[in-house]
Structure 1
């Protein structure tokens, strides 16, 4: 009984204890203290590790980028390892080795095939987690940086005027150096600069010594195309165009042969041949003398002589075939002459007398003889009325030039036009330079007039509408006429004489559309072939550079997007070594401007100032049009011959911050390399 009561009491205590919750929280809190400490400590230490790793990665990235930018298009070890020094300094500026409790930091940067790689490590001691057996944590990061380019089109518009033959330094005036390249000619500096630009951007080796060689295997595989528009007085772009873009008929300052009706001898009625005369000549030498007769009882020598036969010619031979025909006219008659030969023999007798024997011998020798007979025949004229040359009218003449078209975008190099002697068809060669399409006479190009099709970058020509099409520039079909006093005139000049051309003409090397240049030797060869000749017309070069680069114009199908459909960054690089230089007597893209006056007053001859003002105004209008098409316009002034006013125009032409001024070839090369580096984009690749 007692035992039962004791068990009952114990059970009651346990039940009471189970149901009593007083003080449980304190016990539970004590039990959770260690797990909570581990969680909080772990969070603190992990946050420290993450912060150290993040800052370490940022410092590594900054160092790699700084090193790659310092390296540029050069080498990693150039300038006493300047690129590596820049990378390390940038790392140190962004991360102190004892930052955030880290220590034993180490970092290094290397380069391979144009990519800069960085590795950085530090140690971090655990603050809280040490009590749980976690000690030191090693933190390591890697980073890569390289120069790469997006889909890119680059159009070079290059001044190849005569002054580019001049030395690249010095202040002595030089016009064209006799159209011969100086040893340090500007054109040579330009070739070098563009080749090094190509090396920098395309990562391919050119023939130029650019101070470094692109690393093997680093060739760019993106959409990267280059095009060229060399310019001077004109641009050579015609044969890049489809046939439909050139007009079938075009008007030139030329000449037209004028004829008159006249009875013209078209044939002759044969007359009767007659013997006009004969001449004789010996053929060979005399034969030996032989006795043909002997007479006796001849009293004396005189009697012997009386017995001598007369000499004679035997012309009984046959008459040979006619030869030596010739014909001439006398009045309107035609006289024909020819010869025949008749063979014969000359018989020559002599005597030999012997007084002792009263003997007389008759002796004979012979010699071949030829009779040359001259025959003549008078032929009567047959008349027909025809148009014959009278004179030339020197004036504007419209010619059919469609014969230059060979189908598609293929062209013939010449065409026959009636501009030869007395209006005969003669071959006229076309080298590819063009005359511009319709323009307007104005000095205000803000905005560009709607009717100024020549300044419309994107207008596609309408077949059959010459106002929207271009014309072939045909210098041997053009004359600059002058009157009897030797003065130029726009009036028709009528004369039977061949006037002098009275103008000057140059055509640049052919332009190149945008294309890949995967073979460096092709790129080099194009630049090496550039000739420096002609005057400075900035506007025409820029107009066609824009047309060949535009994604929405005459080459839209080729330029709108990359082969994969991606967007393209577009850059136009314009380089010149001088001020605008014009002349009214040069055959330009707007004709011979003294006579054609397409962009100056029609009532008076343009001065050089008039033309220069027009070229500069159109140039600046085109600069704005290009920039408005989201094309980056780089402008480089080269040499010491550019005036302050032109420098201002060139600076205003360029996209903001994209103007360069190079006083010599070394600076020009540095400018082009800087442009190439700016076009390239510095990127983290890992």
Structure 2
């Protein structure tokens, strides 16, 4: 039998039951670890889903807010935020409860706060009860570095009412009370408010929040277009040719013997006239004779009347010359003042007395002199007639250095070839083009459709010319029909063409002062016909980062990349006429893009404009420029709508039937250009 001591010693050395005891003791920390992991995972999952829902709500609210205010449309933005939050998070999910969420906006940034409670599952055994889970989220609309070029139809039809189907050409060149041009101004101003976050003078339904002004690289440019575009004075002097050819006239002269002077002849008295100046003096006795036997003897003593004209001749007056028989005859008058002496007698037979009496009167002698002058001849060029034809003029006097321009120059197109002032408003004639109907691809020699070709100084094919309507004449024959032949006549022919120049375009620039932006739009005039191609060509040139304004457009001031957008808006079909003076000259006479051998029809010109327009659409999209196209009003044909849809970047075509829809279209474009992002 073992002793107690030996039993204890044996028990101390026996480890067969230790594992169970140790396992029992480890159950509590192990349960805590596993339970903690489960509950932490639940909390993390709830917090993640809560954050996602908060983010979604903030983004939805900010998108709904757009360019307006947080409280607009009965708090629609807040409602959208809450609905999106609820759609993404069920407050009973994962055992959570008592969920709350709220959203607010400040300076364009939407902030959300959300929280729920989560009861611990396993960790309650260790004294841990309910966990509060909360998150915050921010969302804002930020503008990346962005350039926006507006190419806007400002043709005559933009004066017409923005609704209705009644035909309207130009409304008498007066804006209707609800004119389309007014709707366009409103839409562009509200676009500016939405994107730039600056308050224009337009009522856009809300006012940009204070402090929300965009400070990124954001520039706007404008190309108003109709028959022509006004871009010339935005260009450096070297981009305009020194010499340009116009449908004009040249004064033709001949050599003739011209009288340049006269050799004076000898003056001679041609005749005289006398007239009294004032009345007679009173008679006075100047002699008394006595012992005169009779009246006859008294008569013998009376002196004879006479005129004393011994005074000097006065100055010449009423001098006049005329020619007769090749000689010049000059006539003039001089006056000589004198006195007329008038004697009388009085005889008294009773006293044999004879008295001699005298009265006087001032008299003027008007003497007419003449002089025959011999002509002196010299051979000179003398005006004969005008030749109406294409004439090349030196137009370099418009250049004032750098990018400065004069508003006019003198050209020899005045009366009988005299120099006369010719004004330049800034519209241009396009550079070299080609006659073709195939623009896929654009022909290499069609420099007018080359967005980026920088002109070569001295090479007019690559340069532009000033559009000078006062230097241009149409020409017609004796039957009144147009002709491309030279017409020789001494008459001043009428200008049988029409001309309009759109408002001056604006290069891309910041518009930090809203009043400047408003003023530019308010001064847009609606006049002229619809040539879509020339507007789009110059919108692309002014926007391109690799063309004639590459130094200004390639990158932001900090060297960052720029998103580029061109917004093209029109209210109608292409409208052309061979009698228009366009960027390609007077179409009937110049025929730069139609057959040289026949007069262009309206269909020929319209086909050319539409084909070039579509070619330019493709060229713009190929430059990674987003091309937005907006059709405005009910006057656009189905064919034109198709062209406009094909022109736009995919998904970027809008069709507005009235000004309200146009405003919403522009606001939608502005919101799409903005980038919605999470701040936190």
SS of 1:416 mapped into structure 2: strand
Structure 1, 381-390 or 264-273: larger mean CA deviation: 264-273
Matched, 1:668 2:645: no
Q: Show the 5 A alignment for 1:339-350.
A: 339-350=333-344
- Aligned counterparts, 1:480-559, within 5 A: 480-559=474-553
Report matched runs for 1:372-383 at 5 Å. Answer: 372-383=366-377
Structure 1 stretch 479-488 or stretch 331-340: which is displaced more? 331-340
Find the aligned partners of 1:108 and 1:353 in 2 and give their Cα distance. Answer: 143
Deviation string, structure 1 residues 631-669 (Cα, Å, up to 9, x no partner): 111111111111111111111111111111111111111
Query: Match for residue 414 of structure 2?
Result: 420
Count of matched residue pairs: 679
After superposition, what is the alpha-carbon deviation per residue over 1:88-134, rounded to whole angstroms, capped at 9, x for unaligned? Answer: 11111111222211111111111222222211121111112222222
Alpha-carbon distance, 1:435 to partner: 0.7
What residue in structure 2 maps to residue 407 of structure 1?
Answer: 401
Match of 2:264 in 1: 270
Find the counterpart in structure 1 of residue 46 from structure 2.
Answer: 52
In 1: Cα distance, 2:353 partner to 2:204 partner: 116
SS at match of 1:395: strand
Of residues 16, 33, 41, the one that matches 2:27 is: 33
Aligned to 1:456: 450
Distance 1:305 1:126, change over 3 A: farther
| Secondary structure of residue in 2 paired with 1:504 | coil
Q: SS at 1:247's partner residue?
A: coil
Distance of 1:562 and 1:471 partners within structure 2:
31
> CA offsets, 1:525-574, max 9 Å, x none?
11111111111100000000011011111111111111111111111111
- With 371-380 and 532-541 compared, the bigger mean Cα shift is at 371-380
The aligned counterpart of 1:590 is 584
The match for 1:122 is: 116
Deviations 1:125-159 (A, max 9, x none): 11122222222111111112222211111101011
1:3 — aligned with what? none
SS at match of 1:490: coil
Offset at residue 369 of structure 1 (A):
2.2
CA distance in 2, matches of 1:190, 1:361: 109
Cα 1:381–1:128 change in 2 (3 A) is same
- Displacement after TM superposition at 1:346 (Å): 2.0
Check 1:304–1:138 CA distance in 2 against 1; reply closer, same or farther (3 A cut): farther
Which of 412, 432, 435 is the equivalent residue of 2:429? 435
In structure 2, the residue matched to 1:194 is 188
C-alpha distance in 1, partners of 2:669/2:360? 103
Pick closer, same or farther for the CA change 1:341–1:19 going to 2, 3 Å.
farther
Shift of residue 350, structure 1, vs aligned partner: 3.9
Name the residue aligned to 1:210: 204
Partner of 1:239: 233
Distance 1:131 1:487 in 2: 108
Partner of 2:470: 476
Structure 1 match to 2:555: 561
Q: How far, CA to CA, are the matches of 1:305 and 1:671 in structure 2?
A: 121
Task: Name the residue aligned to 1:572.
Answer: 566
1:154 and 2:154 aligned: no
- Return the alpha-carbon distance in structure 2 between the equivalents of residues 141 and 559 of structure 1: 42
1:581 matched to 2:594? The reply is no
Shift of residue 339 of structure 1? 3.3
CA 1:215–1:356: 2 relative to 1, 3 Å: farther
Q: Aligned equivalents of 2:164 and 2:294: distance in 1?
A: 113
Residue of structure 1 in register with 2:673 after alignment: 679
SS in 2 for 1:70: helix
User: Structure 1 355/668 Cα, relative in aligned 2: closer, same or farther at 3 Å?
Assistant: farther
Equivalent residue in structure 2 for 1:143, among 134, 137, 148: 137
Distance 1:148 1:550 in 2: 23
2:93 pairs with 96, 99, 106, which one?
Answer: 99
User: Which string of whole-angstrom CA distances, capped at 9 and with x for unpartnered residues, describes residues 313-345 of structure 1?
Assistant: 111112233344444433433333333332211
Distance 2:490 2:159 in 1: 41
* TM-score normalised per structure 2: 0.95
Distance 1:209 1:262 in 2: 73
Distance verdict in 2 for CA 1:385–1:136, change over 3 Å: same
1:308/1:26 Cα in 2 relative to 1: closer, same or farther (>3 Å)? Answer: farther
Distance 1:284 1:197, change over 3 A: farther
In 1, distance between residues paired with 2:473 and 2:31?
102
Matched residue SS, 2:422? strand
Following the alignment from structure 2 to structure 1, what is the Cα–Cα distance between the partners of residues 54 and 108? 17
Mapped partners of 1:363, 1:186: distance in 2 = 101
- What are the ranges of 5 or more consecutive residues in structure 1 without an aligned counterpart? 1-5
The alpha-carbon distance between structure 1 residues 625 and 310, as it changes in their structure 2 partners (threshold 3 A), is same
- Relative to structure 1, the CA distance from residue 560 to residue 350 in structure 2 (aligned partners, 3 Å threshold; closer, same or farther) is same
Separation of aligned partners in 2, 1:198 and 1:358: 124
Compute the displacement of 1:479 (Å). Answer: 1.1
How far apart are residue 358 of structure 1 and its match? 6.3
2:74 paired with 1:80: yes
Aligned partner of 1:653 in structure 2 is 647
Give the 3-state SS of the residue equivalent to 2:527 in structure 1: coil
- One of 625, 632, 641 as aligned partner of 1:638: 632
1:249 aligned residue: 243
* Alpha-carbon distance in 2 for matches of 1:503, 1:640: 30
- TM-superposed deviation, 1:453: 0.9
Q: Do the aligned partners of residues 147 and 304 (structure 1) sit closer, same or farther apart at CA in structure 2, a change above 3 Å counting? A: farther
Q: Deviations along 1:207-250, whole A, 9 cap, x unmatched? A: 11111111112110000000000101100111111111111111
Q: In 2, distance between residues paired with 1:640 and 1:81?
A: 34
Distance 1:488 1:361, change over 3 A: same
Query: In 2, Cα distance between the equivalents of 1:567 and 1:402?
Result: 38
CA–CA separation in structure 1 for the residues paired with 2:281 and 2:59:
115
Task: Give the Cα separation in 1 of the matches to 2:145 and 2:244.
Answer: 40
2:387 to 387, 390, 393: 393
**What SS does structure 2 have at the residue aligned with 1:52?**
helix
Distance (Å, rounded) in 2 between the aligned partners of 1:24 and 1:456: 93
Deviates more, 1:599-608 or 1:244-253: 244-253
Paired with 1:151 and 1:63, the residues of 2 have a C-alpha distance of: 26
- 1:59-105 deviation line (CA, Å, top 9, x unaligned): 11111111111111222222211111111111111112222111111
- Distance apart, 1:172 and its partner CA: 1.3
User: 1:287 and 1:112, CA in 2 relative to 1: closer, same or farther beyond 3 A?
Assistant: farther
1:431 counterpart SS class: coil
Q: TM-score, normalised by structure 1?
A: 0.95
CA distance in 2, matches of 1:673, 1:514: 20
Match of 1:40, SS?
Answer: helix
Work out which of the residue numbers 107, 131, 134 in structure 1 matches 2:128: 134
Using the alignment, how far apart are the partners of 1:667 and 1:22 within structure 2? 89
List per-residue Cα deviations over 1:175-203 (Å, max 9, x = no partner): 11111111211111111111111111111
User: What 5-or-longer segments of structure 2 have no aligned partner?
Assistant: none
Deviates more, 1:642-651 or 1:125-134: 125-134
CA distance 1:458–1:312, change in 2 (3 Å): same
